[in-house]
Structure 1
């Protein structure tokens, strides 16, 4: 058994968050004028389904994939070997708030389903140093899709991620951090339903292993609540993909 029920749950999933190869490819296709030998940093990659797909669709690139949990990275490389892509992917076990890279090392920074761990503003501000001038960043972020969320939904998000914003306010934060917005799009609800179908089965399968473990049972109970809430209110919130570019000519806005 792994050291934490969180890792135990997500280690068994094809993705560690909502997403799809179609969404990954749609976001990537919004990038233009990529240099030969494009260097991509995939932060919080999990088992790397999006990493593998990026390697497939970006013929002349090398991807450095990071995660804090080594077994995720091991699974990623196992899959990369199967796909014949292991020569174009390197893994680094590191925390997303303490990355061991040089300034301006990457052309693209990619983060699907992970930036919420730091929070959007902190994440894009810290990661910016690793991006070349004019380099791209593409992230999925929790986003309100309504201005009047149900009280149950509002309370849930105030408890777990009070920084959630609507699309215009999210883009204001991105612009203020010194980026130019390229585009955004909502991930379809189907990506969440697919993710939750795997998560629900995983929670069920391992629940007996954690009986009488109070902390673990709380996490599993939370997962069940999260799944139930989205199925009840799928139109009120979700992920949006934000694609933006480091602006070489503007300083971040510091007065708020």
Structure 2
């Protein structure tokens, strides 16, 4: 699979995965006893819709936003400047499995739609060193909402993320990895459609033309079409759970 094309096809979208400002605000409202000027690390920030929202709702914070794809970071910097919060957001190009920061550097780690890249448990373990005592890790992770998924949904997730588990089992992994589960809530369907699937779907015809003759790119576009259709038909069976975790 052509990773560069996957990144390119998501450039300029409002988000690179499901989510919404409402969900970001809800999760942040559950954080208690933060310092007056918290240091936040947004891991796999993409173009940073949630980064900018965090800067808006926490005017004392300083945010470091990390992504592997420089065009996403450039887009974030432009959007942050336009929103008047650019002075409190620093972008860093780095891989989330090799984050270049000292231990205990942050009060909050934020990871909407990104931890699956390194794996849920691996991310929890490897990122924990970055948190100060009692710090928070706020993230979204794919989970099953049913014990009996349809064959179509099961086949799709077996192809793209076979590690998917139920929400209760996912929370248990967090507990066993040294976190308290402060809260968890399900993202609504609108968080998938409004800022992610609908903008991506509008782009698919042009992406098909750009992918023509490149088998990897053609396969990526076809997979996105399948992904959207599977969610349209079976979205009640799975989705994102927003976990608010506190380091023990």
RMSD over aligned Cα atoms: 1.2
Deviation of 1:206 after TM superposition, in Å, equals 2.1
2:234, 2:211 → 1: CA distance? 29
Give CA-to-partner distance per residue, 1:126-171, whole Å, 9 cap, x none.
Answer: 0000011100000000010111100111111112111111111001
TM-score when scaled to structure 1? 0.94
Partner of 1:164: 164
Matched, 1:246 2:247: yes
Give unmatched runs, 5+ long, in structure 2. none
Mapping of residues 64-83 of structure 1, within 5 Å: 64-83=64-83
Does the 8 A contact of 2:44 with 2:111 survive in 1?
yes
CA distance in 2 between partners of 1:159 and 1:64 (Å)? 33
Cα offset for 1:4? 2.4
Q: How does 1:104-253 map to 2 (within 5 A)?
A: 104-194=104-194, 195-247=196-248
Q: What's the offset of the Cα at 1:93?
A: 0.1
Of the structure 1 ranges 5-14 and 125-134, higher mean CA displacement relative to structure 2 is found in 5-14
Q: How far apart in 1 are the matches of 2:151 and 2:138?
A: 31
Q: What is the aligned partner in structure 1 of residue 58 from structure 2?
A: 58
User: 1:9: how far off?
Assistant: 1.1
Aligned pair count reads: 246
CA distance in structure 1 between the aligned counterparts of 2:211 and 2:179, rounded to whole angstroms: 45
Q: Which runs of 5+ in 1 are unaligned?
A: 248-256
SS in 2 for 1:233: helix
* Residues 43 and 96 in structure 2, CA contact (< 8 A), matched pair in contact too: yes
Runs of 4+ with >4 A deviation: none
Shift of 1:212: 1.1
* In structure 2, C-alpha distance between the alignment counterparts of 1:136 and 1:79, rounded to whole Å: 26
Partner Cα distance (1:182, 1:241) in 2: 11
- Structure 1 contact 12–202 (Cα < 8 Å) conserved: no
